[in-house]
Amino acid sequence: MGVLVTAQVRSIKTTRALNPLSPYAALRDTRISLGTENKLLSGANKSLSDEISASEKELKQTEYSNRQKVEKSDELKKQIGLMPLAGEGIMVTLADADNNIADSNSIAHAADMRDLINLLWSSDATAISINDQRIVATTSIDCIVNTVMINNVRTVPPFDIRAIGDRRRMAEAVNNEKNLPDIHTRVKNEGLVFQVTEQKKVEVPAYSGTFIVEYAK
Amino acid sequence: MTKVRALSLTLAMILFAVLIGILVGHQIVIKKGIDQALDPNTTESMAIEVAQLIKDNQDLRKKRDILIDERDKFLNQSTNRRAAVEAVNSNIDEYGIIAGTSQVTGKGVAVTISHEMALTQIIDLVNAIRNSGAEALSINGRRIVASSGFTANDLQKNYRLEIIGNPRVLADALERKGGILDQITNGQVEEKDGLVLPPLGA
Structural domain containing residue A63:
21-80
Q: Residues of B numbered 37-76 whose beta carbons fall under 8 angstroms of chain A's beta carbons: which are they? A: 37-38, 40-50, 52-57, 59-64, 67-68, 70-71, 74-75
B12 in contact with A at a CB cutoff of 8 Å? no
pLDDT tens profile A138-185: 999 998 877 899 998 889 999 999 999 999 999 999 999 999 999 999
- Looking at the DSSP bridge assignments, the partners of residue A198 are A90
Short-list B185, B55, B196, B179, CA closest to B171:
B179
Across the interface, of B16, B36, B106, the residue whose CB is closest to A217 is B106
A100 and A196 part of one domain: yes
Instruction: Please tell me the predicted confidence (pLDDT) of residue A110.
Output: 96
CB A97 within 8 A of CB A193: yes
A213 within 8 A of B105, measured Cβ to Cβ? no
What is the pLDDT tens value at each position of chain B, 202 positions in all?
A: 677 888 888 888 888 888 888 887 777 766 665 555 555 557 777 888 888 889 889 989 998 999 998 888 888 766 678 888 888 999 999 999 999 999 999 999 999 998 888 999 999 999 999 999 999 999 999 999 999 999 988 888 899 999 999 999 999 999 988 888 888 767 899 999 999 999 998 7
Structural domains counted in chain A:
2
Q: Are A210 and B58 in contact (CB under 8 A)?
A: no
Does B57 fall in a domain? yes
Per-residue burial over B137-147, b if 16 or more Cβ lie within 10 Å, else e, is: bbbeeebbbbb
Cα separation, B157 vs A190, in Å, equals 35
Give yes or no: residues A75 and A89 share one domain. Answer: no
User: Residue B49's domain spans which residues?
Assistant: 40-99
User: Is there a domain that residue B56 lies in?
Assistant: yes
Gap from A86 CA to chain B (nearest CA, Å): 17
**Which ranges in chain B belong to alpha helices (H)?**
2-38, 40-75, 81-99, 119-131, 167-175, 180-184
The letter for the amino acid at B64 is R
Concatenated DSSP letters of A169-207: HHHHHHH-TTTSHHHHHHHHHH--EEEEEEEEEEEEPPP
Phi-psi region of B189 (alpha: psi -120 to 50; beta: other; left: phi over 0): beta
- Contact at CB, B92 and A154, closer than 8 angstroms: no
The distance between the two most distant Cα atoms of chain A, rounded to a whole number of Å, is 87
* Helix, strand, coil percent content, chain A, rounded in steps of 5: 45, 20, 30
| Nearest one of B158, B62, B76, B52 to A141, comparing CA atoms | B52
Interface touch A122/B89, C-beta < 8 Å: no
Please tell me if residue B149 touches chain A, with a CB cutoff of 8 Å.
yes
CA distance A174 to A177: 8
Asked if residue B190 belongs to a domain, the reply is: yes
* Residues from chain B contacting residue A69 (CB–CB below 8 Å): 85, 88-89, 92
Whether B27 is in a domain gets the answer no
Tell which of B99, B114, B135 closes a domain: B99
